[in-house]
Structure 1
Amino acid sequence: MSLEPTGVVADGTTEQWRDRKRYLWLMGLVVPSLAFIALGMYLLTGWGVFMWTGPIVIFLIVPLADIIIGTDSSNPPDEMIEELENDKYYRYVTYAFLPLQYAGFIVAMYLVGTTDWPVIDKIGLAISIGCVGGIAINTAHELGHKREKEERWLGKIALAQSAYGHFFIEHNRGHHTRVSTPEDPASSRIGESFYRFWPRTVSGSLRSAWSSEKKRYERKETHPFHWGNDVLNAWAMTVVLFGVIIAVTGVEVIPYLILQAIVGFSLLEVVNYMEHYGMLR
């Protein structure tokens, strides 16, 4: 017997809906593990191509898999949504992304800053790490929508690697209320190329996030320079993270830290560009 989208069995009886992909969601943890895959294969073979595992997987293997597997349009019935949201298993899968993300990031940046590997191989590894950071923004997006304060802080932590902590503010308070309007920096214009969209959305998102927090503190009749300012404390996480890595490995790692951060938040903006392309005339 097959389940209809409403959770009713084809013969008219009812049956408890089950997530048949429940344990396949663990495959999402392959992404934060890409650093270890890249490093392991590089150390095993000495082939520099493995340092580019991130972009190879994200831009080649995953799209090919999508074409082969096809689109899965099945969704849980509405009456199951609350139960699924309360199922801690799905939350734990999301949480598990973060330690893998940061373990790979720290190990990779340490090796980039302390080894005499060829520069092209270090660039490949930094880009691979940036790809992981870009996907982590999606994790931060999900955590940022949660009601629990602890999960929202985890969202900020996920963003620290890409130095894009203000996305936490801009997406929830700005983009959601102004999507497809001229005030939304994440909505692209008709005929606007990505190369024109990128600087506009990156700078616009930052200004919008700061303006949102500044107005919040103006309502409190005080200045915005408080630890409670979500833009400032999110940026502080990046400063501390990068500062510790630089202190341990040396200043040689700085260009690679910047490169991986740019790759990370650029992946987000590519998605914004495609998702909202041409919404504004």
Structure 2
Amino acid sequence: MVHWLKYTTSFVLFLLAYMAFTHTNWWCWSALVYAWLLIPFVELLQQPNTANLSETEEIAAKKDRMYDVVLYVAVIIHIVLMFVFLHSLQTTGLSVAVRIARIATMGLLCGTFGINVAHELGHRINQYKQAMAKIALLTSLYMHFFLEHNRGHISGWQRLKTPGTASLQVSVYRFWIRSVIGTYVNAWRIANKYMQQQGLPVIHYQNEMLQMQVIQLIWVMGIWFFMGWKIALYYIVTAIIVFFIIRNRELY
């Protein structure tokens, strides 16, 4: 059996998102119903599969480039759909319900493909794979995740002290505020410390965190300039949705 093929089934969400961005009827809600209602319901009925790959299968999987190809295709489709989404909101006469559905759908895409695929690519050592991870994170205005997760959350000596890890019995609201703000602040701390170790000032073009802020600002301002402030505002709302999705997932 070709194990990587099963991961392409997630592309169904891309198709439903495209339908949501190009239709004004019930299709607008199809991706949300699929991801937040249908899949959880099916998982309740299914028995969990606890089997892992054998040692031989794991070695073969690591050598199979098709796993990487699935990730590359996901990033490309995700970016294309981002522009389809932004263009769709420029359509005149859209109802409030349609706008809400499309914004929530794009937030869902960014919180699933944008973050999860970037998370996977961000752990690779190849620069072009890490670049693709940062591009995917850009769509969520969450580029600092690459820096904080790889150099803070994962490499930290005590994960329970990192802002991205929830303490026992912490409320979802308290964790969300702490993690969103804490992760951002910690990313700056990591980047600044690296600059100091290199003997360079914090405010320097080589500061990776500073680079990310400039790139994200240019991206948002570009949307504002070419599509208007309303579209830029809608886009920012999708990023806020992503913050809820990723942090609520880590809580559980």
Normalised by the length of structure 1, the TM-score is: 0.82
Per the alignment, residue 5 of structure 2 pairs with 23
Indicate which of 97, 105, 124 corresponds to 1:128: 105
160-169 or 110-119, larger mean C-alpha shift: 110-119
Flag as ranges the 4+ runs of structure 1 deviating above 4 A.
179-182
Offset at residue 154 of structure 1 (A): 0.6
Indicate which of 14, 25, 32 corresponds to 1:32: 14
- Provide closer, same or farther for how the CA distance between residues 181 and 123 of structure 1 changes in structure 2, counting only shifts above 3 A: same
Task: Determine whether 1:156 maps to 2:160.
Answer: no
Which residues in structure 2 correspond to 1:1-281 (within 5 Å)? 19-40=1-22, 42=23, 46-47=24-25, 49-135=26-112, 136-178=114-156, 181=159, 183-274=161-252
- Provide closer, same or farther for how the CA distance between residues 85 and 269 of structure 1 changes in structure 2, counting only shifts above 3 A: same
The residue matched to 2:234 in structure 1 has which SS?
Answer: helix
The residue matched to 1:33 in structure 2 has which SS?
Answer: helix
Offset at residue 213 of structure 1 (A): 0.7
Kept in 2, the 8 Å contact 1:131–1:263? The answer is: yes
Aligned residue type for 1:70? Q
The residue matched to 1:32 in structure 2 has which SS?
Answer: helix
Kept in 2, the 8 Å contact 1:160–1:235? The answer is: no
Q: Where does structure 2 lack aligned partners over 5 or more consecutive residues?
A: none
Aligned residue type for 2:126? E
Normalised by the length of structure 2, the TM-score is: 0.91
User: For each residue in 1:99-128, what CA deviation from the matched residue of structure 2 results, as whole angstroms up to 9, or x when unmatched?
Assistant: 111111111112213422012311210111
Aligned residue type for 1:89? M
109-118 or 193-202, larger mean C-alpha shift: 109-118
Aligned residue type for 2:152? G
- Provide closer, same or farther for how the CA distance between residues 254 and 82 of structure 1 changes in structure 2, counting only shifts above 3 A: same
Offset at residue 73 of structure 1 (A): 2.2
The residue matched to 1:31 in structure 2 has which SS?
Answer: helix
Offset at residue 179 of structure 1 (A): 7.6
- Provide closer, same or farther for how the CA distance between residues 239 and 220 of structure 1 changes in structure 2, counting only shifts above 3 A: same
The residue matched to 2:89 in structure 1 has which SS?
Answer: helix
User: For each residue in 1:29-53, what CA deviation from the matched residue of structure 2 results, as whole angstroms up to 9, or x when unmatched?
Assistant: 223333202134x2xxx42x43233
CA distance in 2, matches of 1:252, 1:110: 12
Offset at residue 206 of structure 1 (A): 0.4
Which structure is higher in helix share? 2
User: For each residue in 1:128-187, what CA deviation from the matched residue of structure 2 results, as whole angstroms up to 9, or x when unmatched?
Assistant: 100000012010110010011110111111101111100001111111134865531112
CA distance in 2, matches of 1:258, 1:64: 30
- Provide closer, same or farther for how the CA distance between residues 242 and 70 of structure 1 changes in structure 2, counting only shifts above 3 A: farther
Paired positions, count: 251
Q: Where does structure 1 lack aligned partners over 5 or more consecutive residues?
A: 1-18, 275-281
Offset at residue 193 of structure 1 (A): 1.1
CA RMSD of aligned residues (A): 2.0
CA distance in 2, matches of 1:105, 1:169: 23
Kept in 2, the 8 Å contact 1:34–1:53? The answer is: yes
CA distance in 1, matches of 2:35, 2:28: 13
Q: Which has the larger radius of gyration?
A: 1
190-199 or 64-73, larger mean C-alpha shift: 64-73
154-163 or 216-225, larger mean C-alpha shift: 216-225
CA distance in 2, matches of 1:78, 1:226: 46
- Give identity over the alignment, percent: 25
CA distance in 2, matches of 1:231, 1:52: 36
Kept in 1, the 8 Å contact 2:21–2:88? The answer is: no
CA distance in 2, matches of 1:125, 1:165: 23
